Amino acid sequence: MNDSNFVEMIASIAQAFGPSGNERNVREVIEPMLSGCVDEVRVDALGNLIAVKKGAGKKIMLAAHMDEIGVLVTFIDEKGFLRFGNVGGVSPFISVGMRVIFENGTVGTVWYEEKMDSMKELKLDRMFIDIGAVSREEAETMVCVGDMAVFCGEAVETNGRIISKALDDRAGCAALVALARMMPETENEVYYVFTVQEEVGLRGARTAAWGIMPDMALAVDVTDVGDMPESHHMAVSIGKGPTIKIKDSSIVCHPDVVSRLRSCAEKAEIPFQYEVLTAGGTDAGSIHLTAGGIPTGAVSIPTRFLHSPSEMISVEDLKGVVNLLAAFIQAGEESQEEDLSSGQDGEDTNDAGEN
Amino acid sequence: MLNPYELLKELTRLHGGSGDEDAVRDRLTEVIRPFVDELHTDATGNLIAFKKGTGSGPRVMLSAHMDEVSLMITHIADMGLLRFRTVGGIDPRILIGKRVLVGPDRLPGVIGTKPIHLQTAADRKNATKLKDLRIDIGANDKTQAENLVKLGDRAVFDYEPVEFGDNKLMAKGLDDRAGCAVLAWLLQERYTFDVYGCFTVQEEIGLRGAKTASFAVMPDYAIILEGTTCYDVPDTKEHLMSTWLGKGPALTIMDRAVISNRPLVDFIVETARQNGIPYQFKQTLSGGTDAGRIQGSGEGVKVATMAVPCRYIHTPVSVLDRGDFDAMRRLASATLKRLPELFGRT
């Protein structure tokens, strides 16, 4: 895939409408992209899209979430203004003056009650959406209580970077799609999993992992950076390659998975960074606690302006993610033996897994 | 036929703090045994009833929690006064002046406070904190109290249900005996699909019972029957009212624990419209119910929640409208009767 196709693919996935619990549109964009590259595709009860490339080796689950943050209409007043709540981490300050769009195309502006002593009082329940309706009746012909909307933020490419809404985590989805389309040669059975409801509590990955019961798993998601003026401290920069997660608030990554990632990156000469995220979690958090426990790690895309309509990533970083994932799923028996097969689950378990 | 409203009143008289639901479970067991095919209590205390369907189809779980908010004795202080903590969300301010029953023998007690005459201006300004409250069981001293009460004993509200006003019921424990009464009533009917009626434990302290119940049942669909918050009183902005009393059962789109399965919610709405049953959407996104745990169990479950609005919820005097209770019963029943139509669509 050349660069402009890659960017176009990221943009088309990122621009799809998909707040948590309403990921159907994203699924419909991604599914045809996988056509011919995987052996089986299914959608589970919660809406996770699970694509399998069969193999006789280990079951490896790669998870990227399809859902994005958004807003949920809770009340329509008599003048047609919409009151709303958050779906995932929505900052009131970032939302002011932004546009939101509903699944049916209705667009509105987010504003706030102006009789406010200080902007410190700004909370979502003192804000509203104006969709241009003049009455409750008119508004109700456009949207319903219970409808979700997402922030508008078109995708643009600038100097090797992409700016768009929802790169969290459509960038991860795009990486999985790109990887599946490379059709990497591997003995392992690879599960490309596009999860739902990550932003509201890592929920889809939990049931997906239960259904798959993988031998190991990686979450592929965005992460914060510490490389902007007066940023908080974080040893991750945009443009310096994918990160190998050590920990976040949902997981301490399995040391064998971390070392397998490191050795893969080193062998393939992919620049990488270690990531310690002090606030926030990923699907890895719910995957690793599934059933009897699953060795799990995460590869992340350094991203600026997270949870804003103008998230920014580097195209090179994302390519690095794809290459690192390819190396990870291709890593042979020898590195698995040294990394993942400790004495206690030795030969018998391996044999059973391969039959 | 079971009178669901009488059952509701009876259930609110029973005591069932989280982890201590025996009295409620025993009574529900007696009530539903005649009309279910199998019945068992699991290791955490959930009561799980099975009713075979007349045909085939997905497995459907119906769930309501038996536990209610309560108190636990943590320390027997000087003068025989009891210190305690809450089990489940209780505002300490509503505890003052309430009658409680302590321990398995249900000893009468009262939660007192400093008389208004003796309060300072600062006392009056500050909200009462739990650490300043004691349960008085009428003991003269610590030794007497120690002979009557053990650490870890429960204290529950001592309030009888009262019917008042225009079809209103005031009682403790409406959350979620309302759901329990509706669920028991629903189990009388036989459906085309297999139904698991789960009366769960420990919802109020973290949706705990539902987790093990749903893993045992592994349903395809689940409908959770609840009591929910309502504060439709003057001075609340309309958009901040979670529900309205008298406008029918509230359906959850999203709360802190779940985003409901939208096709199932839409199907319930469609059922309500077809049958002229009132309904409303819960407008606030706060709180969480067993739906969250059930949805995330196994390979995932399609869930929806319907709830009776309860003013003054988590107090001994919560209030529901009988019309809402009856509407929830009818809506749940009508939904189950036509649920196979939904199976066909997906």
| CATH number of A89's domain | 2.40.30.40
Would the pLDDT of A10 be above 50? yes
B176 & B133 share domain: no
Percentage of residues in chain A having pLDDT higher than 70: 93
Residues B183-242 pLDDT 10s = 999 999 999 999 999 999 999 999 999 999 999 999 999 999 999 999 888 888 888 889
Interface membership of B265 toward A (CB under 8 Å): yes
Which pLDDT does position B346 carry in this prediction?
60
Q: Is the pLDDT of residue A349 over 80?
A: no
Q: Using the 3D structure, point to which of B111, B130, B157 is the last residue of a domain.
A: B157
Identify which has the larger pLDDT, B238 or A263: A263
Task: Calculate mean pLDDT across residues B116-131.
Answer: 87
Task: Summarize the confidence of residues B310-325 as an average pLDDT.
Answer: 97
Q: Which of A94, A129, A151 is the last residue of a domain?
A: A151
Contact list in A for residue B299 (CB cut-off 8 A) is 44-45, 207-208, 210-211
Same domain, B121 and B180: no
Residues A174 and A278 in one domain: yes
3-state secondary structure at position B244: coil
Does residue A224 sit within a domain? yes
**pTM score, whole prediction:** 0.89
**Residues B238, A85: C-beta atoms closer than 8 Å:** no
**CB proximity B301 to A under 8 Å:** yes
Beta carbons of B295 and A46 less than 8 Å apart:
yes
The reply to whether residue A75 touches residue B238, judged by beta carbons under 8 angstroms, is yes
Distance CA A292, CA A286 (A): 12
Quote the tokens at residue B58: 């997905």
Task: Write the CATH number for B208.
Answer: 3.40.630.10
Paired with A162 in beta bridges are A157, A313
A233: number of Cβ within 10 Å? 6
- B119 occurs within a structural domain: yes
Cα A209 vs. chain centroid, distance in angstroms? 16
Give pLDDT tens digits for A186-227.
999 999 999 999 999 999 999 999 999 999 999 999 999 999
Question: How close is the nearest chain B Cα to the Cα of A45, in Å?
Answer: 5
Interface contact flag, A21 B281, Cβ < 8 Å: no
Of B254, B298, B302, the CB nearest to A72: B254
Q: Of A68, A198, A199, A311, which is the active-site residue? A: A198
In angstroms, the CA A309 to CA A164 distance is 6
B222: nearest Cα among B185, B246, B252: B252
Instruction: Give the gap in angstroms from C-alpha B202 to the nearest C-alpha of chain A.
Output: 21
The separation between CA B232 and the C-alpha centre of its own chain, rounded to angstroms, equals 20
Instruction: Check A145 against B295: CB less than 8 A apart.
Output: no
Residue matched to tokens 């639901």: B21
Beta-sheet strands, E only, within chain A: 40-43, 49-53, 59-65, 70-76, 82-87, 99-102, 107-112, 127-130, 148-151, 156-158, 161-164, 189-195, 216-223, 243-247, 273-276, 296-302, 311-314
Report whether pLDDT(B66) > 80: yes
Within 173-232 of B, beta carbons closer than 8 Å to A belong to 220
pLDDT: which is higher, B21 or A291: B21
* B198/B331 same-domain check: yes
- Domain end (from B133, B157, B181): B157
Which of B282, B280, B281, B278 has its CA nearest to residue B327?
A: B278
Residue pair A218/A230 in contact (Cβ under 8 Å)? The answer is no
Confidence of residue B125 (pLDDT cuts 50, 70, 90): confident
Give mean pLDDT, residues A35-56: 97
> Residue B285's closest chain A neighbor by CA?
A85
- Which residues of chain B make contact with A210, given a CB cutoff of 8 A? 298-300
Predicted local distance difference test score (pLDDT) of residue A32: 97
Identify all chain B residues contacting A44, using CB atoms and an 8 Å cutoff.
Answer: 299-300
What is the mean pLDDT of the segment spanning A152-180?
97
Q: Is the pLDDT of residue A341 over 50?
A: no
Question: Quick one: which of B136, B5, B11, B22 has its CA closest to B78?
Answer: B136
DSSP track, B156-169? EE----EEETTTEE
Rounded CA-CA distance A164/A14 in Å is: 7
pLDDT of residue A153: 97
User: Are B26 and B139 in the same domain?
Assistant: no
Catalytic residue, from B21, B68, B203, B204: name it: B203
Interatomic CA distance for residues B155 and B85, integer angstroms: 10
Helix/strand/coil for A134: coil
Give a yes or no: residue B167 inside a domain. no
A336 within domain boundaries: yes
Q: Nearest to residue A207, comparing CAs of A287, A120, A275?
A: A287
Mean pLDDT, chain A, whole residue set:
93
Which of B231, B242, B254 is most worth mutating to test chain A (most A CB atoms within 10 A of its CB)?
A: B254
Q: What is the pLDDT of residues A95-124, one digit of tens each?
A: 999 999 999 999 999 999 999 999 999 999
- Taking residue A321's Cβ as centre, other Cβ atoms within 10 Å add up to 29
Q: Is 50 exceeded by the pLDDT of residue A342?
A: no
**A313: helix, strand or coil:** strand
Q: Is the dihedral of CA B199, B205, B209, B211 positive or negative?
A: positive
Please tell me which residue of chain B has the smallest CA distance to A77. Answer: B239
Summarize the confidence of residues B269-293 as an average pLDDT: 95
Q: Do A145 and A55 share a structural domain?
A: no
The count of structural domains within chain A is 2
Closest among B154, B157, B155 to B171, alpha carbons compared: B157
pLDDT at A1 over 80: no
- pLDDT digit string, tens, across residues A277-327: 998 999 999 999 998 999 999 999 999 999 999 999 999 999 999 999 999
Taking an 8 Å cut-off on Cβ atoms, the answer to whether A45 and B301 are in contact is yes
Confidence of residue A348 (pLDDT cuts 50, 70, 90): very low
| CATH code of residue A253 | 3.40.630.10
Domain boundary residue among A117, A151, A185?
A: A151
Q: What domain range is A122 assigned to?
A: 70-151
Is A198 noted as a catalytic residue in this protein? yes
Q: Give the pLDDT of residue B345.
A: 78
- The residue segments making up the domain with residue B188 are 4-68+172-345
The number of residues in chain A equals 355
Token output for A200: 């509201």
